Structure 1
C-alpha cells in the first residue's frame, strides 16, 4: 500500500472512530474523507478479497444480508455494507471497518446501479448478482433499459466474473453478454392474485409476451408466441411455496424446504438469489437453511419496532413495484391495524411523485384499518392518494412533521401498526425512535 493510501486509510479510520464515539455513527463519511486523500484507495483495500457485487432496483439490502450470512460459513473473514450505504464512499467505509485479514476473505457488497462502473475495476468481483430492474427514480435514470446498460457495462469491465441474474425478468435475457451467466427463478405456479401484472414486449420481435406462470410485475415463466424468445433454463429454482403470512414464508428451493423470517413473494426472490450465491460457492443446503433461520430482519425491511405498547412493522418503499408488493404483504394482516404512510421526495427518494399513480392502495380498502396517518414532506400528496383509493377522509390524520407523526402513533387506536416510508422518511423516523430509546 502506498504512503498516500496509508494516510487515507488512517484518516478514514479516525473519522469512523470519532463518529462512533460522539454520534450514532455514520457509514459513508469515513469513506468520503479517505477518498478525498486517495481516490484510488478502494483498489488497495479490496485486493486481498474475493468480491460479490449485488445490484438491481429492489431487494439489494436483504439479498446482501442473506448472502453474507450464508457465506460466513465458508469464509474466515467476511465484510459487507450491511447498512445499505451503497455508493463508493460507503463501500470504502465497509473496508475501513474490516479487521486485518490473513487469508480466505470475502466482501459481499450492495452497489447502487449508478455507482457500478465507478467501482468494479477496483473491486474485480468474482460474481455479480442482478436482482431485478423495475421503473425507479426515472428522473435519475431515464428508463429501465438505461439501468440495464449500467449493469452490463459494469460486468464487461470484469469479463471473468459470472453474472447470477433473475431469469424471470425478460430484460435480463434480452441481450448477449460476454460474461458467463447463470439464472434463478420460480419453477412453480403460485396462483398469483397480484394486481401489478405488467405488459412486456418481446425484445426480439416486439409482440406481447405470454406467461406459463407469473409471480408479480413482469416476472415469471415468459415466452413469445411470435418467435423463439423465452425464459432461459434456470440453474437455481423455487419449486414450491407452501406458506405465506405477514411474518414469514416457507418454500422449497431445488426441492429442499426453507423458512425465512421475512414475508412476501418478493423476499422469496431475495432468498433465492442469496441461496444461488451460496450454491455457486458450494455451500451445502443445510448450512443455507441455518443461515435463513438465524437471519435478523434488516432495518426498514419488515423491521419490528416496539414503541408506546405498539408493534410497528416498518417497510421502506421507493417505487410502484416495491410498494405494491408491500401492500400485498399488508393484505395478509388478519387483525385491526393502523396504517402510517410517510412520503418524502428528496433526491434519494425520487423527486417526481407521479409513481404513486401506479400503486394499488385500493387493495387495502376492505381491510380493518382503524386509522390512517400520513406524514413527510409530501404528506398532503399521500393523503390525496389514499382518498382517491377510497379511504374515508375522516379516518386519515395528515400529520406532516415527524413530531406529529410520532404523537399519532402513540395515540393510535390499535396495537398493530403497518408503516410504509420512502427512504429518507424511513431514516428520519428510525432516528427519532433511536433518540427516544425504542430502537437500540
Structure 2
C-alpha cells in the first residue's frame, strides 16, 4: 500500500467515523473522498478479502442481503454494502466501515455492484465470483438496451477469467456469450407447458444465434423460463440448483420447493424467489449445507425500500422500490394477489438515480389491479402529474386520487386513508425522500441518505 493510499484511507475512516458519530451518516461520501485522493485505494482495501460481485437489473440489494445471511452459516468475517450504495464510492465506504481482517486471514466481501461499475470494481478487487440476477430494460438514458448493459457487465467479467459465474439460467442473455469462466446456473424446474411464447411486449426473446423468436416450455415472467429456439436448437443450459414447485405466493409470504427443501420466505413476489435461489446457489457453492441455508433464509428480511414494512399511526405501510416495467409488473402482480382490501400510493421521480425517462410507466399493467378493493389512491413525487394521468388511463377517476408533489406531504395523506394497509410504490429517490421524512418523524430509526 502506497503512502498516498494510506493517507487517503486514514482520512476516509476519520470522515466516516465523524459522520456516523455526530451526523446522520453518509453511505458514500467517505468513499468519494478516498477516491479523489487515491483512485486505486479500493485495491488496497480489498487485499484481505475474497470478493463476490452481485449485479443485474433487479434484485441486487435483496440478493446481496440474503447471500450474506446464507453465508453467515459458515463464515464469520463478512463485509457488505447494506445501504445499496453500489457504485465505487459506496463500495469503498463499505470497506472503510469495517476493520480489516488480521494479517494472514481472509474475509469475505459480498458486494452489490451497479452494472456500469462492474469493470472498475473487478479490476481492483479481482472477485472469485460474479452473480448475475437478470437484465431488463432499465434507465435507458444511462444503460441503453439490455445488450449494452450486459456488455458493461462482461467488460468486468473478461478481466477475471478464473472467476466463477453464477447466473440465472432462465435468462437467455446469460447464455448468449462464450466465456472461459467456470459457470453455475440456477433456475426454475416447473412442469412442461408445451410450446409457448412470452408476452408480445417482452424484451430479449430473440435467439442470440439465429435471431428467431424464442419459445418456452414454461415462462415464469418476462423473458425468463425454460427457453428454446425451434429454428437452430439454442436452449437453456443445464441447471445445478432449482426451484421445483411454488406452493404459496402472497404479498407477505412465499412457500416453495428450493432444491428439494421446503422453503418459506416472508416476502412476496416470484422475483424474490429467484433472488432467494441465487443466494442459495452462492452459499452452496461456498460449501454451506442446504438445510442450514433454508433455515437462515426463513427469517424476516428487512431491506431498505424493498417490501420494507413500517407501522405509522396504526397503519401498516409497505414500501416497494419500482424502477422499470418488468419490476413494476411483478410488484403489481404481487399486490394483486392480496386477498384483503388495501390502499395504494405511487411516487414517481425522474432524477438521475431514477432514470430521467419515465415513459416506462406506460408499460406497467395498472389496468390489472382490482380498483374496487382499493379505497384510496395517492400519487406523489415531482412527476406526480405523469403517474396520475397513467392511473386515470387505467380507469381510476381523477376525483379518487389525492396528489402531493412533495414526497413529505404524502405522509399526512397516508395517515388519513380509510383502511389500515397501504402499499407505497416508489422510484429510488422518492423512496429515499420518504424514508428520510419518516426518520425525521421517528417512524423509522435509520435514515438512508446517499451522500
Question: Scaled by the length of structure 2, what TM-score is found?
Answer: 0.95
Q: 2:149 is matched with which residue?
A: 147
Q: Distance in 2 between matches of 1:346 and 1:71?
A: 35
Q: Distance in 2 between matches of 1:41 and 1:273?
A: 30
Q: 1:315 aligned to 317, 320, 324, which one?
A: 320
Q: Distance in 1 between matches of 2:427 and 2:38?
A: 34
Q: 1:280 is matched with which residue?
A: 285
Q: 2:82 is matched with which residue?
A: 82
Q: 1:229 is matched with which residue?
A: 234
Residue 428 (structure 1) aligned with residue 433 (structure 2): yes
Give the Å deviation of 1:366.
4.5
Greater shift in the superposed pair: 72-81 or 181-190: 181-190
Counterparts of residues 21-36 of structure 1 (less than 5 Å): 21-36=21-36
Q: Distance in 1 between matches of 2:338 and 2:244?
A: 26
Give the Å deviation of 1:402.
2.4
SS at match of 2:150: helix
Do 1:196 and 1:321's aligned partners in 2 also have CA atoms closer than 8 Å?
A: no
Question: Scaled by the length of structure 1, what TM-score is found?
Answer: 0.97
SS at match of 1:58: coil
Deviations 1:60-115, CA, capped at 9 Å, x for gaps: 00000000111122222110001100000000011111123122410000000011
Residue 289 (structure 1) aligned with residue 294 (structure 2): yes
> RMSD value over aligned CA atoms?
1.7
Assess, with a 3 A threshold, how the Cα gap between structure 1 residues 49 and 351 changes in structure 2: closer, same or farther. Answer: same
Do 1:190 and 1:241's aligned partners in 2 also have CA atoms closer than 8 Å?
A: no
Deviations 1:207-227, CA, capped at 9 Å, x for gaps: 111110010001000011111
Q: Distance in 2 between matches of 1:164 and 1:275?
A: 11
Counterparts of residues 290-369 of structure 1 (less than 5 Å): 290-366=295-371, 368-369=373-374
Assess, with a 3 A threshold, how the Cα gap between structure 1 residues 336 and 218 changes in structure 2: closer, same or farther. Answer: same
Do 1:66 and 1:271's aligned partners in 2 also have CA atoms closer than 8 Å?
A: yes
Deviations 1:256-314, CA, capped at 9 Å, x for gaps: 11111111100000000000001111100121012202342211011001112110010
Q: 1:100 is matched with which residue?
A: 100
Counterparts of residues 185-204 of structure 1 (less than 5 Å): 185-189=187-191, 200-204=205-209
SS at match of 1:128: strand
Q: Distance in 1 between matches of 2:6 and 2:206?
A: 52
Residue 13 (structure 1) aligned with residue 13 (structure 2): yes
The runs of 4+ residues in structure 1 deviating greater than 6 Å are: 190-196
Q: Distance in 1 between matches of 2:11 and 2:246?
A: 49
Give the Å deviation of 1:385.
0.4
Q: Distance in 2 between matches of 1:143 and 1:420?
A: 24
Q: Distance in 2 between matches of 1:404 and 1:155?
A: 44
Q: Distance in 1 between matches of 2:436 and 2:313?
A: 16
Deviations 1:364-383, CA, capped at 9 Å, x for gaps: 14450001000001000010
Counterparts of residues 253-264 of structure 1 (less than 5 Å): 253-264=258-269
Q: Which runs of 5+ in 2 are unaligned?
A: 446-451
Q: Distance in 2 between matches of 1:290 and 1:375?
A: 39
Do 1:194 and 1:328's aligned partners in 2 also have CA atoms closer than 8 Å?
A: no
Q: Distance in 2 between matches of 1:374 and 1:203?
A: 40
Q: Distance in 2 between matches of 1:174 and 1:403?
A: 45
Q: 1:183 is matched with which residue?
A: 185
Do 1:168 and 1:219's aligned partners in 2 also have CA atoms closer than 8 Å?
A: yes
Q: 1:172 is matched with which residue?
A: 174
Q: Which runs of 5+ in 1 are unaligned?
A: none
